Amino acid sequence: MSASRLTARLRRLVPWAALLPLAATVLVAYLGAALWSLRISLSSSHTFPASDFVGAAQYERLFDNERWQLALHNLGIYGALFIAASMAIGFLLAVFIDQKVRGDGLLRTAFLYPYAMSFVATGLVWQWVLNPDSGLQNVVQQLGWKSFVFDWIVDQDRVIYTIVIASVWQASGLVMALMLAGLRGVDIEIWKAARLDGIPTWRVYVSIVLPMLGPTLATAFVVLATAVVKAFDVVVAMTQGGPGTASDLPAKFIMDHLFGRANIALASAGAMVLLATVLALVAPLLYVRGHAARKAAKVTQ
């Protein structure tokens, strides 16, 4: 084989070589860990992995478990509200800061700083603020409005909303930062053309810019979605899963059984169920997108 053909061959391999870290991580770390987790969920492992096989017993136990059912239910509410609110608020904050306001550096930091702080302390602060005795309800009542009630955090059915509030507080700044980065990529010419055509600013944002931000919105959505599925330290810091187990989330259930309750088999079963739920929600989406992308690629070839 000639030297030039060899180098041409080698050069075609470069993209694959560049993806070696990705491949190694996916295959060894993620796939390996997922398969290991699956195997453990089919055993009776307590603190350490056991090599026995108990079939679907852990999954049966999981679905009989009232606390897990409540956690899944909470996940749905929490996920929907948290993602919607963070996306909306993050987008609005980005758009408004984009209006050449004065002190935008300070404002940006004010919205982003919650993300910098660990929930261990900020969760406790939210607990204090939302507590009817020491927090907001007490203050407002002292100011004169005697019938003001804001005791969601001690209410079985509404405590999950308080978790949403604290989480949105923490995440909106990051969404704002993502959106700002995306807005930077919007061509200045578009703004000039819009002004010439007399289109109001808000119209430009909604009808022109928002569609262009597609990939940014997708990124923000995925970042928030993974945060939802993994959310647990906000629950621990704010309510410890309470009152009772009313604000439990699947990740906290899994963590409790992984560490404190020394039942890694049940925890792994929970993780598998969570993964399967995500897969069930995401797979149709991915298929549609992949199909469209393949069609587009065929057209341009």
Partner 1 sequence: MTLAIRTLAATGLAALAGLAAAQPPRAEVVHWWTSGGEAAAAKTLADAYRAQGGVWVDTAVALGEQARSVAINRIIGGNPPTAAQFNTSRQFLDIIDQGMLNNVDDVAAREGWDKFLPPIVLNAVRVKGHFYAVPVEIHMTEWFWYSKAAFKKAGITAEPRSFDELFAALDKLKAAGIVPLAHGGQPWQENLVFAAVLSNLGGRDLYLKVMRDRDPAAIRSDAFKQVLLTFKRLHGYVDKGSPGRNWNDATTMIITGRAGVQIMGDWAKGEFTNAKQEAGRDYGCIPGFGPHSPYVVQGDVLIFPKTTDPLAIRSQKLLASVVTAPATQVAFSMKKGSIPIRTDIDVSKMDVCARQGVAIMKDVSRQVGQDELYLTPDQNGAMVDVLTNYWNREIPVEKVQNDLIAALRD
Partner 2 sequence: MNGRRPRFTPARVGVYGFLLMAALFFLAPLYVMLTTSLKSMDEIRLGQLFALPHAPSLDAWRSAWSEACTGVSCEGVRAGFWNSVRIAVPSTVLPILIGALNGYCLSFWRPRGANLLFGVLMLGAFIPAQVMIYPLVKLEAAAGVFSSLTGIVAVHLIFSMPMMTLLFRNYYAAIPSELFKAARIDGGGFWRIFVQLMLPMSLPIVIVAAIMQVTGVWNDYLFGLVFAGRDNLPMTVQLNNLINTTTGERLYNVNMAATILTSAVPLVVYLVSGRWFVRGITAGAVKG
Residues 7-36 within binding reach of partner 1 (CB under 8 A): none
Q: Burial, 270: exposed, middle or buried (Cβ in 10 Å; 0-12, 13-18, 19+)? A: buried
231 contacts 249 by C-beta, under 8 angstroms: yes
Residues 48-87 that bind partner 1 (CB under 8 A): 48, 66-67
Does 199 help bind partner 2 (rule: CB under 8 A)? Answer: no
253 contacts 68 by C-beta, under 8 angstroms: yes
Give the one entry of partner 2, partner 1, none that residue 21 binds, where binding means its C-beta sits below a cut-off of 5 to 8 angstroms depending on kind. Answer: partner 2
Residues 6+ apart with CB under 8 A from 42: 53, 54, 55, 56, 58, 265
Q: Among 1, 3, 14, 280, which residue interacts with partner 2 (rule: CB under 8 A)?
A: 14
- Nearest distance, CB of residue 124 and partner 2, angstroms: 8
Query: Cα–Cα distance between 253 and 93 in angstroms, integer?
Result: 34
Query: Cα–Cα distance between 216 and 92 in angstroms, integer?
Result: 14
Does 153 help bind partner 1 (rule: CB under 8 A)? Answer: yes
Pair of tokens at residue 38: 């699956």
Q: Among 191, 208, 210, 246, which residue interacts with partner 2 (rule: CB under 8 A)?
A: 191
113 contacts 173 by C-beta, under 8 angstroms: yes
47 contacts 136 by C-beta, under 8 angstroms: no
Contact track, partner 2, 233-272, x by CB under 8 A: ------------------x--xx--xx----x--xx--x-
Give the one entry of partner 2, partner 1, none that residue 261 binds, where binding means its C-beta sits below a cut-off of 5 to 8 angstroms depending on kind. Answer: partner 1
Nearer to partner 1 by Cβ, of 66 and 187: the residue is 66
Nearer to partner 1 by Cβ, of 182 and 256: the residue is 256
Residues 228-287 that bind partner 1 (CB under 8 A): 238-246, 256-257, 259-263, 266
Candidates 277, 283, 243, 171; CA nearest to 269 is 277
Query: Cα–Cα distance between 24 and 162 in angstroms, integer?
Result: 40
Residues 6+ apart with CB under 8 A from 63: 69
Nearer to partner 1 by Cβ, of 95 and 238: the residue is 238
Look up tokens 């992984």; give the residue.
258
Residues 107-136 that bind partner 1 (CB under 8 A): 127, 131-134
Could you list the residues that contact partner 1 (CB under 8 A)? 46-48, 66-67, 127, 131-134, 151, 153-154, 156, 159, 238-246, 256-257, 259-263, 266
